[in-house]
Amino acid sequence: MSDIIRMTAAELAEKLSSREISAVEATRAHLDRIAAVDGDVHAFLHVSDHAIQQAERIDERRAAGEQLGELAGVPLAVKDVLVTTDMPSTSGSKILEGYMSPYDATVVKRAREAGLVPLGKTNMDEFAMGSSTEHSAYGPTKNPWDLTRIPGGSGGGSAAAVAAFEAPLALGSDTGGSIRQPAHVTGTVGMKPTYGGVSRYGAIALASSLDQVGPVTRTVLDAGLLHDVIGGHDPRDSTSLRDEWPSMAAAAREGATGQVLRGLKVGLVREFQGDGFQAGVKSRFDEAVQQLEAQGAEVIEISAPNFEYAVSAYYLILPAEASSNLAKFDSVRFGMRVQPEGGGTVEQVMSATREAGFGPEVKRRIILGTYALSAGYYDAYYGSAQKVRTLIQRDFNAAFEQVDVIATPSAPTTAFKLGEKLGDPLAMYLNDLTTIPANLAGVPGISVPIGLAPEDGLPVGIQFMAPAREDARLYRVGAALETLLDDARGHTLISEAPALGGK
Amino acid sequence: MSEITPELVAHLANLARIDLGDDEIQSLTTELGQIVDSIQKVQEVATDDVPATSHPIPLTNVFRDDVVGETLTIEQALQNAPEHADNRFKVSAILGEEQ
């Protein structure tokens, strides 16, 4: 049944639960799809060789009458930043080639317990540093809408896997937009939860005060279903919040009725309305906002004067934290070891290993972070960036006194060509202009597809942000807009994606 | 203009334990110069009266009872080590001849 792969996770889950489709059939359909198209897309770094056996076990448990989770038997793609006991975890880096973790990341463990079937590990920029997946040590992923273009980053593999119907659900991580920007450029849904809402245990750390794990899917409801599986307190992550969370899937289902839009106060950021946004991104965004207004939402312009400093603050805080986190790749306990010619001390071995094992962007950011933290510069750079963080939080606080959600384009442009920005790190960094503020403040953000830019026919997403802990609000609003747009269009946006030839 | 020089990049690379080649030091000097010029605008608004934020959601220290939990076995801890012997990680000489 080839249309298995076209189903949403929610639809597939229903047919699994009614035993119309078996977990083995669902898994095989997706493995076949991966075999057919991933040579072109390169979303996966590793495809599981035992997913079918895991699916068989789900079918057996269901046949035995066991009560299984709502998503039991649904295949899942896992970003390679998340460690897994049964598949290698490299975080897109040569330094971790072949690394087999002795434990599962908490989100992976929870997904397994809920009966999801991990299909494989998805490609990413090395250690999640990038916005195009071109910094992967294993070659770039291609955008399923146009194979000559980037799928976003760092989680381009997860977004492309979902957009290319290689998996209905994927896990991502978002430090400055790595879930939301790939969603934007691939016409898919990506959610960065409130900082601390989802466990980071077993996520190979990039910048610990910014990293957050979240769902990558084709619909808002599917994201909510996966969020419900992976979210909640984890004693193994000391930044994990102890909150009791409402069901995000229930919020999405409630949102689809559209009631939430009546009287909803939507904030538009004045500072994000000038130049720097592609015309088609801007026009689709404006139309989506008009749709919200037509359903009774109230649009209010808000000012966030410090957002213009967010990218700068981010590129001080992230490298500083990354340079510290990546110090663990010391050639002693795990990962690559390179012997300098004629041998050497442990420090010389370490330096030779890190020179050989890290790619150019990782080196760039480690050196930048080392600079920002070094004596004499700390106050001017890292210290100042932390103050900007306070100012951005204050901008959010002031805005959320006036509005329920903030809406922005999810990124300034549609998918650019592979190679286009690779030689210009600063241009690459500006991709995350609208997504970075949420990470600095710890608030949740979701990207929902809203249409294609007229000039290039490529997907555009809208980002909604809400106060910390109000993740459910984003599912309500996101599902409301998604339903509105799908109804107006008569079909989903992703169904317009070009067919992939494959074999 | 920023103060990024090839000597500074070489010094930072030494601190970060990355044995950069000369061509890498040259290209990083240019790139880091541009990046630092661009990001130092944070100083415009980071005035003395603004407190620093290190963590997005305020949390107090998280403690647990001081009891043995689930831990890795020695075999698991060593399974990814490039070299090990006698249940320990094995490394080359700590001190060089000049030390």
Give, for all 503 residues of chain A, the pLDDT tens digit.
Answer: 459 999 999 999 999 999 999 999 999 999 999 999 999 999 999 999 999 999 999 999 999 999 999 999 999 999 999 999 999 999 999 999 999 999 999 999 999 999 999 999 999 999 999 999 999 999 999 999 999 999 999 999 999 999 999 999 999 999 999 999 999 999 999 999 999 999 999 999 999 999 999 999 999 999 999 999 999 999 999 999 999 999 999 999 999 999 999 999 999 999 998 788 999 999 999 999 999 999 999 999 999 999 999 999 999 999 999 999 999 999 999 999 999 988 899 999 999 999 999 999 999 999 999 999 998 889 999 999 999 999 999 999 999 999 999 999 999 999 999 999 998 888 888 889 999 999 999 999 999 999 999 999 999 999 999 999 999 999 999 999 999 999 999 999 999 999 997 54
CB spacing of B46 vs A368 below 8 angstroms: no
Among chain B residues, the shortest Cα distance to A305 is held by B45
Helix axes A9-17, A23-41, angle to 10 degrees: 150
Which of the residues A136, A178, A331, A447 is marked catalytic? A178
- Find, among A32, A76, A82, A79, the residue nearest to A54 by Cα: A76
| Nearest CB to A380 within list B4, B8, B43 | B43
- The verdict on B13 touching A (C-beta cutoff 8 Å) is yes
What is the model's pLDDT at position A1?
Answer: 44
Q: What is the dihedral of CA A89, A94, A96, A97, to 10 degrees?
A: 60
Pick among A367, A379, A381, A386 to test the B interface (most B CBs inside 10 A)? A367
Whether the CB-CB separation of A73 and A4 falls below 8 Å is answered with no
Higher pLDDT, A227 or B61: A227
Q: Among this protein's residues, is A154 annotated catalytic?
A: yes
In chain A, residues under CATH classification 3.90.1300.10 are: 4-272+401-495
- Give the CATH architecture of domain B6-45: Orthogonal Bundle (1.10)
- The verdict on B67 touching A (C-beta cutoff 8 Å) is no
- Find, among A185, A171, A187, A81, the residue nearest to A125 by Cα: A81
- The verdict on B85 touching A (C-beta cutoff 8 Å) is no
What is the model's pLDDT at position A503?
Answer: 46
DSSP collapsed to 3 states, A465-479: ECCCCCHHHHHHHHH
What is the model's pLDDT at position A502?
Answer: 55
CB spacing of A334 vs B44 below 8 angstroms: no
How far is A217 from A229, CA to CA, in rounded Å? 14
Q: Measure B64 CA to nearest chain A CA, in Å.
A: 9
Among chain B residues, the shortest Cα distance to A429 is held by B35
- The verdict on B89 touching A (C-beta cutoff 8 Å) is yes
How far is A268 from A405, CA to CA, in rounded Å? 9
Which numeric CATH code is attached to A4-272+401-495? 3.90.1300.10
CB contacts of A393 in chain B (<8 Å) are: 53, 56
Instruction: List the structure tokens of A3.
Output: 């249309």
CB spacing of A352 vs B47 below 8 angstroms: no
- The verdict on B69 touching A (C-beta cutoff 8 Å) is no
CB contacts of B13 in chain A (<8 Å) are: 367
How far is A96 from A106, CA to CA, in rounded Å? 20
Do strands A405-409 and A445-452 pair parallel, antiparallel, or not at all (unpaired)? unpaired
How far is A219 from A226, CA to CA, in rounded Å? 11
CB contacts of B56 in chain A (<8 Å) are: 195, 209-210, 389, 393, 439-443, 468
What is the model's pLDDT at position B2?
Answer: 65
| Nearest CB to B54 within list A209, A327, A354 | A209
Cβ neighbors of A299 (< 8 A, separation 6 or more) are: A266, A268, A289, A292, A293
Which of the residues A22, A48, A79, A447 is marked catalytic? A79
Percent of chain B clearing pLDDT 70 (strictly above): 96
Pick among A387, A396, A424, A432 to test the B interface (most B CBs inside 10 A)? A387
The DSSP bridge partners found for residue A460 are: A451
CB spacing of A384 vs B21 below 8 angstroms: no
Cβ neighbors of A415 (< 8 A, separation 6 or more) are: A143, A145, A146, A149, A150, A151, A152, A185, A186, A458, A459
Q: How far is CA A55 from CA A43, A73, A80, A143, A306, in A?
A: 22, 6, 21, 29, 49
Higher pLDDT, B62 or A25: A25
Domain limits of chain B? 6-45
For chain A, the farthest-separated pair of C-alpha atoms sits apart, in whole angstroms, at 73
Question: pTM of this prediction?
Answer: 0.97
- Find, among A95, A85, A127, the residue nearest to A334 by Cα: A95
Q: Measure B53 CA to nearest chain A CA, in Å.
A: 5
Q: Measure B50 CA to nearest chain A CA, in Å.
A: 6
The DSSP bridge partners found for residue A302 are: A269
